[in-house]
Each structure stands twice: as structure tokens, then as C-alpha cells.
Structure 1
């Protein structure tokens, strides 16, 4: 697409509680000649206040954030009849989250590990009125059993599946060892298993990774 086809600036707002990822993504998006990030935040409450004030064309929201989730913010945007479109950017697919996102009439639902070019393309396509759902995500939604784990619990479990120790998981995710142990305990309880191996095997068998 030539520059002349993208002469209208698309304004964006980014809500992501991992500050390093948020900063990197904002810089990446601002490199595009037709995209401008108006603001960022690390919690859903601030995100909603900023979006209501700035009224960007598109809000790119993580799901699990402090104070309010990205889906809470999407619900608020819909209820307030704002023109702002919503793209959910998340780590793992969960049926309950996806169903709620569809109910909130989000315009995009993408996985964080998708290539950055896919997000940029999705932003432009959403502005033309298209609805963009990650094909792999939709496929997994159809095929997988219900996943009761939160996004953050899945991140911890994925690290465990990679063979990381509790200490290594904590360092990788910038968490305390105690917090990681609490996440693992919650994972075992939700899945009805007794150890990491059983939890990882259940996740693999149900295609949650």
C-alpha cells in the first residue's frame, strides 16, 4: 500500500500492564506513517478514563490488567457508545474470554505472539470496518476443551512446560517466588491435578498452548 492510500492518521490507545512490552509496542506502532499512539496505561481503570477523554480511533487492550480487565474496558466503550473500536491483544485463547469479547463487539482479537506486521495490518483493516480474529485462535476455540486458567496462569504454566524452575519463572515474569508458587497452586486446583507434569499434559492434550 502506497503512502497516498494511508493519508488519514489512525489514532491509537494502548493498555498493557507489562511496561516493557507496552513501550516497545508503542514505539513500533508510532514508526508507521499513518499510526499515532495517543497514550498508554498499565491498568484498565486508567485506560477507560483516558479512552473516554482522548477518544482514539482504536483501543488496543490486554485482557488481564489491574483494577479493570481489557474486557471490562471494552464493555464500557460499548455502553458509552464511543466510536472507538477495540482490538484485544492477549497471550492465550480462552473460550469464555473470546465469547465475552464477541458480546462486547470488539473489532479484533489477536494473540500477542503474532507477527507485529499482523497487528499493523489488523489495525488498518479494522478501520475499514472489518472484524479480525486470529485464525489459530478461532481454530483452538472450536477444538479445545474449556480452559479455566487465566492468561497469567497460562504464562506460568507455559514456562513450567518449558522446564523452568520456580525461581526461573519468577525471574522471567518479574514475579516473586511466592507469587509463582501461588499461581501453580491455583493451576493445580483448577485443573484437579497434583503436579506440574499432570498440568502440562492436560494443557497439551486440550491444545491450550
Structure 2
């Protein structure tokens, strides 16, 4: 029997996944959590074999939660399930130790099969996303450029971004300019959009 923990911040999705996977004779859903920072405790407490993690969650995102599990529960395998099949997310999830990465519209039978494969130590990756990830390549942004673009995503002024990132306004302008150059964007908002679409801002 595969002991499974499901983590998703949307109660309806979490419940649906638990109901579907709970129908499988060899999978037992032992816990459900709605925050990334609750994953490790749930996995350890319930001696889970597999953690099914959403990427975008409060407290701790799914990729950071996967990385945390490598220390807290090294025997637990991780399967990422996300609405947003962004290539940057896939690469970072695999670097964090995830064994699989699928999108939420995966048919129930395939999802259950992905849980089994990950539990067995195999890698499972959505084929379309794998191709997209190889084509997209690594994020061209530095850590600071990423921070500035993430802050720019809230739509504030340069002064607001400077305050949020503890940088001078001139430095913020420089980072925004270099980010626009690297993403091929014509505006700050466009640079944010491109970076988000590629999964570079999580």
C-alpha cells in the first residue's frame, strides 16, 4: 500500500484528488494539507511514501517543500502537480528532488499511475512540458533581477520596488532595464509576464 500525503491550497482540488486517488486499491491517502509549510510534519507523522505537492501554496511553495523533504523525510518521494505547466517550475522541482511533475488536467488513471511510478523510484514528467523545458532553457535572470521583477509584478512605482527590495531607485531602474533586455520585453510589465510564463519568478 502506497501511503500518500496531498498538499494543495485549494480545498476543492485537494478533496477531489484525495477522492480519486483513494479509490485505488493500492493507494491510501493518509493526510491532506493546504499549506507548503505543513508538508514535512504531515509526511513524517504519517510515514508517507509519496507527497503529492501543488507548486503554488502559501507558507512555502511546493518546490521549497520538496527540497525540505529531502532532509526531513529522505525516503518520501515527491510528485509535483500543478495548474501552471511552466518550464522553469519543472527544472527547479527536479533540482529540489521531485521524482515527477504533471499538470492537474492529467486523467485520474494516469495520475494514479504516476504516483505508483514515483513510489517505485521512477521519474514521471509530462511529455509536452519536458519538451518545452528543454527549449526554454535556464532563467537568464540573476537572483537580484528576479527579486526586482517579482516586486514589479505588484504594479508599484520604482520607489515602491526600491523600498520592497531594499535597493536604491537607480539600482532598481538598472535591474529592470537589464531584465527587459534579457527577456526581450519592451516594457516592465511585459518582462514580468514573460518571466512568470517561464516559471522564473516563483
State the Cα deviation string for residues 105-156 of structure 1 (Å, max 9, x = none).
21111111211211111111222221111111101112347789xxxxxxxx
State the Cα deviation string for residues 78-126 of structure 1 (Å, max 9, x = none).
1235211000001223333222211222111111121121111111122
| Selected match of 1:14 from 3, 6, 11 | 6
In the other structure, the counterpart of 2:113 is 121
> Could you list the runs of 5+ residues in structure 1 that have no partner in the other structure?
1-8, 149-181
- The answer to whether the Cα contact below 8 Å between 2:87 and 2:130 also exists between their aligned partners in 1 is no
In the other structure, the counterpart of 2:52 is 60
In the other structure, the counterpart of 1:89 is 81
Deviation at 1:75, TM superposition (A): 0.7
* Cα separation, 2, equivalents of 1:103 and 1:55: 23
Report the aligned-residue RMSD: 3.1
Please, which moves more after superposition, 88-97 or 127-136? 88-97
Q: How does 1:16-165 map to 2 (within 5 A)?
A: 16-144=8-136
* Cα separation, 1, equivalents of 2:12 and 2:130: 28
Over 3 Å counting, the alpha-carbon distance change for 1:132 and 1:124 in structure 2 is same
> Could you list the runs of 5+ residues in structure 2 that have no partner in the other structure?
141-151, 157-175
Please, which moves more after superposition, 10-19 or 80-89? 80-89
Q: How does 1:191-206 map to 2 (within 5 A)?
A: 192=185
* Cα separation, 2, equivalents of 1:31 and 1:77: 26
* Cα separation, 1, equivalents of 2:186 and 2:9: 29
- The answer to whether the Cα contact below 8 Å between 1:74 and 1:106 also exists between their aligned partners in 2 is yes
Aligned residues: 160
Deviation at 1:202, TM superposition (A): 7.0
| Other structure's SS at 1:40 match | strand
| Other structure's SS at 2:70 match | helix
